[in-house]
Structure formats: structure tokens, C-alpha cells
Structure 1
């Protein structure tokens, strides 16, 4: 386990530094790609894969925690808990999906403070009627645009103060395309930008042409959701360079890695059910050279061993490992 993992346990990357890095990346020429994560492990994998930011997907967290669809079942408390886990697991800027802010503008004040305290680099709120639902699914309703403006203003006022580059970004999402059409989505996008939102997020537009028009007619930085997780999609899957050329600064892949992981679990469990232990033995053999070949090391027991060596009585720790049976983590040099 690299020494930086030990340092991460002791000195996590400060929220102010993460926010500054995210703002710098968004301001630089290019586009920020942020895959989705539903827990700390996936957030860590996003970082180790070399991405510059991670997106905590509301749908993914709802699906994994409850085993149910994303229809507004999670509370602020549950989502903020997951936010803290993700921030602890990675040094990347973390962008959080805060659904509808969990109430009106007054409720948004607490929501912002909870995510701000968790170390969020950016927080997204949307203009759906509660209970909300996944943006790519029909049947959405939206609140009056002026009510959303109030939520944006409350979020901006409630976030921590300090230098602008160290403040959590407030992303305003509009779901108006489904129930009211593209013109209304553009109108709301312009209104939310005028209200001071740091970024505008048009969710579930229906074509590349619609995304291009929205980008051209709505000022300021914009976010693109590469969502749509059914074969018969309503939202397009576009090359990242095309999204960048349209004028979007951030693109998210909310459920892509999560669905890939669930597929792997389904396939493995089917093999285990059919063939039992021998199937797992063959599965382990096929993992030779893969990062998860030794799950103990992969999940970080080597970091714990290094921390034990630094802070606990060396004779006691040595005796515990010498006299106890089980996997013995390698003591890596400092």
C-alpha cells in the first residue's frame, strides 16, 4: 500500500484545496469528466483510474442503499452520511447530487451546510417536485421557476464564506424538458444563471441538437449528464469531445461503473449457485495479477499495518501477529 494512503488517513485533502482544484479544472481549456460513485470504494477506484473528479450519484446511492429505484426515498441524513464516506475515501473533488435540496429554500439552507461540512466541492440541486425521480424517467413535475431561484439564492448564502475559489460550487439543475419542453428548460437555465448559480445542468434533453442549443443560449458553465441506462434511451450518448465543443465544462457518467459492478456480481453469483466452491476457486485463479487478487491488501490492511507500526507498541503488535493465525499484512517501509 503506497505511503500516500497512510498520509490520507492522517491528513485528508482539505475541502478548500479540492474546491480550488475543481474550479481550476473547470476554468482550464478542456472538459472535466467525473464518473459516478455510490460509496467510498468506488470513489477511490475513480481516483486510481486517473479521473480529476468524482460524482456522487443520487440514483446510485438510492439503488445500492435501498435496493429500490430512485424515486426520492433517501433523506438528507442518509445522503450526507454517504457524502462523508466518499470524501474520506478520496482526495479528489467530490460533486454531490442533493436531489431537490430536501425541501424548500429554508430546507436547502441546512442541506448546503451539511454537504459543506462533509467537504463537498460542488452540490447539485434540481427543480423537481418532491418526491423526485431519476431524471431520465417520464412522469416528472417541476416547481415554479421562482421557487427554484429562491433555493439557489439560499444555497449561495448558506455555503461557507471565504475566498471565492474555496467556496463549494452550487449547480442548478432543471428537469423542465420532460414536462414542458426545451424552450422552458432554456428559460429556466437562463433564470438560474442570472440568480448566481455557479453551473447550470439541463437534465434529460432528447438529442445532440437540443444540448447544443441549450449550451448556446444559456450563459456560464454547464454540466452534461451522460446518463440513460436502458437500451431504448431517450437521452443521447455522445463523444466527450463533441460535448466539449458544444460548450459544456463538466460531464458525468453517474451509473456506468455501478451498473458494470452489478453485472459482474450477477454473473459471479450465477456461477457460484450452479457450481459452488469450485467456481470461486477458478474465479480466484483468473484474478492473478489483477489489483483485487489479494483483497486484504487491496482494501487497505497494509495501511492499517503501517499505522500500527507508527503508533502502537512494537513488541505487542509483533506478538499479536506472530502468535495469531491468519493473513499477515506486509509491513511496508515508511
Structure 2
């Protein structure tokens, strides 16, 4: 009731233990706090909070227009509603290395389990679009060193994302991944890999956990969890999938309403009121006030 009962430091400790086990962890992307609760209810391992989703939620493109305050605020809203660990997209760290340091501490304070910092230039682009540019090696490494130096909880995950594969090819991605690990990154997010063999090449190059991004309509084929596990991935995310599904359903609903003047024909596709109330634990609030939950909902 109200918010998650597991404190942030304990979420981080448990997550680190599971990450060290070698199993692959499934992190669907939450587009709001309620969807994070649904991800937990369905038995997934964690929640991913996408910068693209946060931007889209504000009606903005994913080109670095969101602010640290907006990202931290939304991250806090989402992570406090689930017992699961939550990893958040911190884009390029919102500025220079000192800004990256502040970003880490703000997101620690917001209760997140970890973040990733990428090596794109500002203004950044979605990782699966053409025309990306990456910063030089020195700048990329400074960002990660600043992030590592700034954290106060040793279990807060500092992940380095590199977008260099789409700019300079796989060998450059392998080289940068190695150097990001040397700079202190706890994990690597190699963006826009073109094949399982490319994921395997990154796996062979570094000895830290790796994240695979299974975003639809992008550069990477949509591999299964089993396929990714077989090449040594440790975390798989579906960053925008739930938002895409929800918006697709919303658009179809609006079309139906416009065409027929009623949504009676779509009731079987809606989340029932009873299911919503169960998900938000309406009944639990009666512990404080019995007048809150004093009804039954017919199916």
C-alpha cells in the first residue's frame, strides 16, 4: 500500500546478487508507475525506465530535451511503486562530468537501482536512428569516471552505453567497451548491435554484465530471451514496448468511438475496474480508513 516496502539500498543489494548469478534478467519498460506494478505482478525481474518514453510522455522527441529534474522525478514516481529494481536512462548525463556526478546522486536519492550514461554528443538522438555522433574517447571515459566517483552506494549500478557501433563499426564498439570497463563501468550497454554474433563479440571482450536492447522497429533483430542468454547477455530490456502497445490500443479505441459512438464492442479488451483496483491495492487502504474500501465490484 502507498509505496514499495523495500528500501532502495536493499533493492540494489539484491539486484547485484542476481546479476552476479549469471542468469538473464528481464526488464520491460514502464511508461508510468501503474505499468511498473503490472510488470512486477507478471513476474518479471526488474523495471526499465526509458528516456525515449519519458520524452514521448511529454510529447517531445528523444533528442535530449528532458531535464535532470524531470527524469529524476518520473524515475522516483515509478520506482517507489514497485519492489523490483529499476534502471533508468540518464542519456548523456545532462552536461559535463560535474553534471554527470550530480545526475548520479540525484538518481540515487530518487531510489533508482542504477542508470546508464551514453557516449553520444548533445543533442543526442534515439539509439536506433541514423545520423548519430559520439564523443571522443576522453570525454566518454570522463563521464563514466565522474559517475563512479560520485556514487555513494557501492551497489548503485553505473552502466556505460556506447553508440559507437553505428558510427565506426563493431571493432570500435569492442575497443570502447573495454576502455569503459577500465574507467570503472559496472556493466556495458552496447547499442544497436546488428546480430547475435555482434553481441557475442562484446561478450568475449569484457567481463562485466551486458545489456541487450530489444526495441521494436530499430537496428537490431528482435531476439528471444533464450537466444540472448545463449550469447551471454545478462539483462534484456524492451524499453518502449508497453507504451507502443498502450498507444496502439488507445488509437484503436478512439477510432471505434469516432466510428460508432460507443466503446461497447471493446469492453473485452479493457482492463476491468476490479483488476485495476486490485493492482493499486484499493482494499489495502481500508487499513487506515474503512470508508475507503466499502464496496464490491461486479465482474
Offset at 1:72?
Answer: 1.2
Q: Is the aligned partner of 1:255 residue 2:240?
A: yes
Q: Is the aligned partner of 1:84 residue 2:76?
A: yes
Offset at 1:329?
Answer: 4.0
What's the secondary structure of 1:89's corresponding residue? coil
Q: Which residue of 1 aligns with 2:142?
A: 150
What's the secondary structure of 2:237's corresponding residue? strand
Contact in 1 for aligned 2:3/2:82 (Cα 8 Å): no
In the TM superposition, 1:109-188 aligns within 5 A as 109-161=101-153, 164=154, 167-188=155-176
Q: Is the aligned partner of 1:265 residue 2:258?
A: no
In 1, the alpha carbon distance for the partners of 2:225 and 2:164 equals: 24
Q: Is the aligned partner of 1:304 residue 2:285?
A: yes
Q: Which residue of 2 aligns with 1:17?
A: 10
In 1, the alpha carbon distance for the partners of 2:269 and 2:274 equals: 5
In 1, the alpha carbon distance for the partners of 2:277 and 2:45 equals: 26
Offset at 1:300?
Answer: 4.2
- Largest Rg, 1 or 2: 1
Change beyond 3 A, Cα 1:168–1:70: same
Normalised TM-score (structure 1)? 0.83
Contact in 1 for aligned 2:47/2:86 (Cα 8 Å): yes
RMSD: 2.1
Normalised TM-score (structure 2)? 0.92
Offset at 1:159?
Answer: 1.0
Contact in 1 for aligned 2:4/2:80 (Cα 8 Å): no
In 1, the alpha carbon distance for the partners of 2:264 and 2:240 equals: 30
Unaligned 5+ runs, structure 2: none
What's the secondary structure of 2:246's corresponding residue? helix
Contact in 2 for aligned 1:292/1:298 (Cα 8 Å): no
In the TM superposition, 1:1-334 aligns within 5 A as 6=1, 9=2, 12-65=5-58, 67-161=59-153, 164=154, 167-227=155-215, 229-230=216-217, 233-276=218-261, 279-284=262-267, 286=268, 291-293=272-274, 295-296=276-277, 298-309=279-290, 317=291, 329=295
Change beyond 3 A, Cα 1:297–1:27: closer
The number of residue pairs the alignment matches comes to: 297
